[in-house]
Amino acid sequence: METHVQENGGTNGHQENDVSPAAGANTAATLSRLREAFASGRTRTFEWRRQQLEGLGRLLADHEKAILDALHADVGKPSLEAYIAEVGYTAREVASALKNLSRWMKPERVAMPLVSQPGVSRIHREPLGVVLIIGPWNYPFQLVGGPLIGALTAGNCVLVKPSEVAPAVSALLARLLPRYLDPECVAVLEGGVAETTEILTHPFDHIFYTGNGAVGRVVMTAAAQHLTPVTLELGGKSPCIVDRDVDLDVAAKRIAWGKFFNAGQTCVAPDYVLVHEAQHDALLARLTSTLRTFYGDDPQASPDFGRIVNARHLRRLNALIPDSGAVVVGGQSDESTRYFAPTVLRDVPADSPVMADEIFGPILPVLKVKSIEEAVRFINARPKPLALYLYSTNDDSQRRVLEGTSSGGLVINHCWLHLGVPGLPFGGVGASGMGAYHGKHSFETFSHRKAVMKKPTSIDPPIMYPPYTESKETWIRRLL
């Protein structure tokens, strides 16, 4: 999930030493309050956790329009896209957590070996303590709300650091979260890179960061100073394979939807397409017609196509087009309105600028391959992606990609709908991230699985105690 050092969790061009003493004191005071609240034990109860989830649900219901307006102001999101991916998604996560919270909190009994009996062994989930959530700008509400739900269900106190690159959503979170959640246990600190850097000098019990790998390394380095565990939701170049055996009409619609949703500013958007040479020209034709169906002859006039977050990112995207193949459709931009046309490229060299890093915008490079095996080799020669998409009706091709590649998630014949399945963990592997969340996986991420054994004192067989006789050894070997 793309963010840059000068943007995620913040910056406005500040340097590390620009942080004011007042800001540093504010962080220290806030963390002191959160630690004191956690030490009181209030967050451990089922009732407190339920109240926080219900409060977040009320916030979504009471302020849906304000959230959608803020998302449009920051990222130019069409209203329906903002509802689907931000408000609606977060509401579903709240509902799922409320439904399952009691079950998730119950101790889990595990079997005991004969040598350890009599007794009972259980796994108790306990909260970690005070956790930090650093959100990105591309889905600035959902990608704070999702981890926050996990942290609250697990019974933690939380410090939220929204991205200042989405200032309207950041201000909204700072204003509303303390009104709907326990203000002694949940706090929001705004600011840029200097403020984020200062926050990271403090010890936490867990840090959850969503952004790119460059900033992920900074976060992990800072966390290491306090041996703080981290969850890193990063990104990378998520590939899309189009096989010879494929329903091309469906594939083109689903690829275009997944790629150009939120103007391509999605961590799991298809970053490039590897299409079988037999389907190459037909896929390009269908992508072109699909874009016309979706957004009309002039996508800039369409209310259903989003905008780039700021001018710097738009200029970054413009710089990718030269020397990156031929433009099939799109390529236009307008910096005054932050518009970048939905763009498809062909004849893209594997070492071209557009193939170097995650694109994070509405540019779709299409590369030709001769076989599924060639596509798998191409993917495996690069860092492991956050998501991988295969469009194929061939069982052998599906098995070859499933077993022959490694990615955070794999979707066959669609794009990134696995995010909406609460039972599936969402996270990366290798350079695309560490740790996972969504549904119960969020609860587990912010919980410590404590091993607890309880033994009676009425029965105390001497077999484990010295002196170690031959008879004891015989029985122990049998029992172990």
**Per-residue three-class SS string for 226-288:** CCCCEEEECCCCCEEEECCCCCHHHHHHHHHHHHHHHHHCCCCCCCEEEEECCCHHHHHHHHH
233 in catalytic set: yes
DSSP 296: -
Active site residue 267: yes
Three-state secondary structure call for residue 44: helix
Q: Which of 185, 240, 267, 415 is catalytic?
A: 267
Query: Which residues are registered as beta bridge partners of 326?
Result: 346
Q: Do 236 and 427 meet the contact criterion of CB atoms below 8 Å apart?
A: no
Please answer whether residues 231 and 427 qualify as being in contact, where contact means their C-beta atoms are separated by less than 8 angstroms.
yes
Q: Which residues pair with 133 in a beta bridge?
A: 160, 208
> Coil, strand or helix: which one is 145?
helix
Instruction: Give how far the C-alpha of residue 104 lies from the chain's centroid of Cα atoms, to the nearest Å.
Output: 22
Name 145's Cβ contacts closer than 8 Å, sequence gap at least 6: 56, 86, 90, 93
Q: Which residue has the tokens 């592997």?
A: 429
Give SS3 for 444.
Answer: helix
Catalytic residue selected from 2, 233, 358, 444: 233
CA distance 35 to 137: 28
Structure tokens at 425: 């963990």
d(CA 472, CA 460): 14
**Phi-psi map region of 288: left, alpha, beta (phi>0 left; psi -120 to 50 alpha):** alpha
Active-site amino acid positions: 233, 267
